Amino acid sequence: MKRTLIFATDGAGIVEAINAIRLDPSIGEQKTGDLTGIYGYDVSYQGTNYEIAYRVEENEEGELVVVILAGTRENFYEELKRYFQELTKGRLKGGFCHV
């Protein structure tokens, strides 16, 4: 699977990356283990690497991409695992963001 690295020039870079994911949800890297079912996608801005974690769900109209977390690579996956732990304990509710 070919991975694409988006270089953000401003805040629009994240939006550009999310739009790229919307057009082709398979461009992210599939995660394994505790994060099975999650894709990760890299974005670079001013020498800092960012990650977007998402999953793909289908609804009646077709595919729906759900962005779970976006942030710097430092401690990113630890934060994502904590999010899932809180979600499974019922302490968090999922939400949607339309881009």
Q: What is the pLDDT of residues 3-21, one digit of tens each?
A: 444 444 455 677 788 888 8
According to the model, what pLDDT value does residue 39 have?
A: 93
Return the exposure string of 64-99: e unless at least 16 CB atoms fall within 10 Å of the residue's CB, then b: ebebbbbeeeeebbeebeeebeeeeeeeeeeeeeee
Residue 94 within a domain: no
**Model-wide pTM > 0.85:** no
Query: CA of 67: how far to CAs of 40, 46, 47, 54, 82, in Å?
Result: 10, 23, 23, 4, 16
Residue 35 CB neighbour total at 10 angstroms: 17
Q: In the chain, what percentage of residues exceed pLDDT 90?
A: 7
Residue 31 DSSP symbol? P
**Can you tell me the mean pLDDT for 79-84?**
83
Which comes out higher in pLDDT, residue 83 or 92? 83
Please tell me the total count of domains within the chain: 1
Q: Which CATH number characterizes residue 52's domain?
A: 3.30.2310
Residue 97 within a domain: no
Question: Where in the sequence is the domain holding 46, given as residue range(s)?
Answer: 6-88
What are the residues facing 9 on neighbouring strands? Answer: none
Residue 83 predicted with pLDDT over 50: yes
d(CA 67, CA 11): 16
Residue 98 within a domain: no
**Can you tell me the mean pLDDT for 49-53?**
87
Residue 96 within a domain: no
Residue 14 DSSP symbol? H
